[in-house]
Structure 1
Amino acid sequence: MSDTATLTPLVNEAFTAPNGPLIATGEIQVDTGTGTLETKPRASLCRCGASAKKPFCDGTHRTSGWADAGESVPAENIAELTATGPVVFVPLPNGPLLANGPLVLQNAQKQIINKTTQTALCRCGASANKPYCDGSHAAIGFQG
């Protein structure tokens, strides 16, 4: 007799920690700029723009004075995700963090604010539309 348990695909989720990083869990892949993808079940990704280990958080938000409560409002119409598989985070040079793949975005209260397969997230800390990029990185001269 064989045990043929059906595996439930992982749901990729990311939430904005209050005054802290974007915490992503699931089937996470991060482009570290070295030509390879780092695969992990959990990643803390910088939102303040000050980490010395971008795109990862190194805790600098605690001493830099950066603050964002992570209280994004849910989108009006949130479609169901039918795609499965990994979400790949790609930091664009001096720009946003692209998320490509199925991802459930949550605010700090763990309310779903969006379900998407592609979005641009702020990693400079200056967007007025956090967690999304609004182009502020260009105005502040973000490097990373």
Structure 2
Amino acid sequence: MQIVEDGPYRVRGALPLHTQEIVRNEEGRSWSYRQGRAYPVKDGTMLCRCGHSRKKPFCDGSHKTAGVDLAETASFEPMLQEAEEIDGPRYSLTDNERYCAFARFCDNGQRIWNEVRIEGEEHARLAIYMAHQCPAGRLLVWDRSTGNPVEEPLTASLSLIQDPGAGVSGPLVLRGGVRVQSASGESYEVRNRQALCRCGASSNKPFCDGSHASTKFRDGLE
């Protein structure tokens, strides 16, 4: 994925693109995803980054007149450099809140920051599950006995998040180690899960910071 200076995202390669709806459980908390409509993508496809295109998810040039500041402000440093670490009996959790995409999977049970601290397989499984559902990859669970992250291999894909629980549309989620290249030519850290801003309001561009929730961003794709 390539960032066009003051413009859209340019897809490199032919990655599958779908809408993905956040599904809530009986407690009303974010729990899983439901895959929706597929969109045609080829190498060079331009995806809206400013939030104002009338042809979402594709760019229609609206960024030129929308008055949205699309300058990149995110750090190129590894996410772990600024992450908080929480140790539990078997696993540790690292969390870089700057990358929160407000998907709220982390709020299940006693919340991930507490679940990782509690003894027992059930709590460990829930903490790992919540981390894997986080679209931004801000949360990583680590096996303390090996020092390795508890991660699952993901197929490279693009998802347009829909969040009916909050009544908004969310970020563009990249899974499976998709590289994000800055308009400067430098690459951001390659990660298993990343969430890119689609509303144009993030203060951590190109990454999502949850601003779509406060701005009530709707893409009309549901």
**Structure 1 and Structure 2 fold alike (TM over 0.5):** yes
Aligned residue pairs total 126
| Amino acid in structure 2 at the alignment position of 1:49 | G
| Cα distance change of structure 1 residues 120 and 62 upon mapping to structure 2, 3 Å threshold | same
Name which of 192, 195, 202 aligns with 1:117. Answer: 192
| Cα distance change of structure 1 residues 56 and 136 upon mapping to structure 2, 3 Å threshold | same
- Whole-Å separation in 2 of the counterparts to 1:71 and 1:129: 5
**Percent of aligned positions with the same letter in both sequences?**
37
Q: Indicate the residue corresponding to 2:96 in structure 1.
A: none
- Whole-Å separation in 1 of the counterparts to 2:63 and 2:54: 11
Note the aligned Cα RMSD (angstroms): 2.4
Preserved CA contact (<8 Å) 2:154 2:192: no
Gaps of 5+ in 1: 1-13, 79-83
| Cα distance change of structure 1 residues 23 and 109 upon mapping to structure 2, 3 Å threshold | same
| Cα distance change of structure 1 residues 64 and 37 upon mapping to structure 2, 3 Å threshold | closer
- Secondary structure in 1 aligned to 2:180? strand
| Cα distance change of structure 1 residues 35 and 141 upon mapping to structure 2, 3 Å threshold | closer
Query: Shift in Å at residue 75 of structure 1?
Result: 2.0
Deviations 1:77-124 (A, max 9, x none): 79xxxxx99632111121111112221112111101121221111100
- Secondary structure in 1 aligned to 2:65? helix
Q: Which protein has the bigger strand share?
A: 1
Name which of 29, 34, 37 aligns with 1:35. Answer: 37
Matches for 1:1-144 after TM superposition, within 5 Å: 14-31=1-18, 35-70=37-72, 72-76=74-78, 87-93=156-162, 94-144=169-219
Preserved CA contact (<8 Å) 1:89 1:97: yes
Whose radius of gyration is greater, 1 or 2? 2
Preserved CA contact (<8 Å) 1:28 1:40: yes
Identify the range of structure 1 (25-34 vs 114-123) with the bigger mean alpha-carbon deviation: 25-34
- Whole-Å separation in 2 of the counterparts to 1:128 and 1:63: 20
Q: Indicate the residue corresponding to 1:10 in structure 2.
A: none
Query: What is the TM-score when the length of structure 1 is the normalising length?
Result: 0.75
| Cα distance change of structure 1 residues 140 and 122 upon mapping to structure 2, 3 Å threshold | same
Q: Which protein has the bigger helix share?
A: 2
| Cα distance change of structure 1 residues 71 and 134 upon mapping to structure 2, 3 Å threshold | closer
Query: What is the TM-score when the length of structure 2 is the normalising length?
Result: 0.51
Q: Which consecutive aligned stretches of 4+ in structure 1 deviate over 4 angstroms post-superposition?
A: none
- Whole-Å separation in 1 of the counterparts to 2:79 and 2:215: 32
| Amino acid in structure 1 at the alignment position of 2:161 | L
